[in-house]
Amino acid sequence: MINYTDTLRKHNLKATPQRIAIVDALFLNGHVSTESLYSIMLEKFSSISLATIYKNINLMLENCLIYEVKLPHAKSVYELTKSSHSHLLCKKCGNIEDVDINLETLVDKISKITEFQIDKTDFVLSGNCKNCHSF
């Protein structure tokens, strides 16, 4: 297991075993919901409190260590902060994939038309993944 002590400290968070495990769970699982994270954490810390999960998710969000992805017709999932990217959601199996699309020129165009100063995008494309539509 990678040592996430530095990562946590860089984001002004004390490196507790629980937090290190949370970061590791996100690293290994990609996009994780609160309940799902709680289950994962219970395996390592049989007496961890759900409040600890919520508290840390919020702290990590505030300190930009993790990012919340809001999905249509589903609960939010959380991931380690990476460079801005979009998401593919399979409506059948629930699979979530990252996709890197360069939205710069598109955003510039919208910015000019609307006179909005845009600095962030949340883009979720829903449908059926390869496995779910290939039969």
Pick one of 14, 73, 82, 130: the residue that binds DNA (CB under 7 A): 14
CA distances from 88 to 33, 68, 118 (A): 16, 15, 22
Pick one of 72, 82, 104, 112: the residue that binds a copy of itself (CB under 8 A): 72
| Closer residue to DNA in complex, CB, 47/105 | 47
Q: Which does residue 92 bind out of DNA, Mn ion, Zn ion, none, counting CB within 5 to 8 angstroms by kind? A: Zn ion
Residue 32 to residue 79: CA distance in whole angstroms = 7
48: contact with a copy of itself by CB under 8 A: no
Burial class (CB in 10 A: 0-12, 13-18, 19+), 89: buried
Structure tokens at 104: 């710069």
9: contact with DNA by CB under 7 A: yes
Residue nearest Mn ion (C-beta atom): 98
CA distances from 15 to 8, 88, 126 (A): 6, 32, 36
Pick one of 24, 27, 29, 48: the residue that binds DNA (CB under 7 A): 48
Bridge-partner residues for 89, per DSSP? 96, 126
| Closer residue to Zn ion in complex, CB, 107/129 | 129
Q: Which does residue 79 bind out of Mn ion, DNA, a copy of itself, none, counting CB within 5 to 8 angstroms by kind? A: Mn ion
CA distances from 23 to 3, 56, 109, 116, 119 (A): 10, 10, 37, 35, 26
| Closer residue to a copy of itself in complex, CB, 33/128 | 128
Q: Which residues bind Zn ion (CB under 5 A)?
A: 90, 92-93, 95, 129, 132
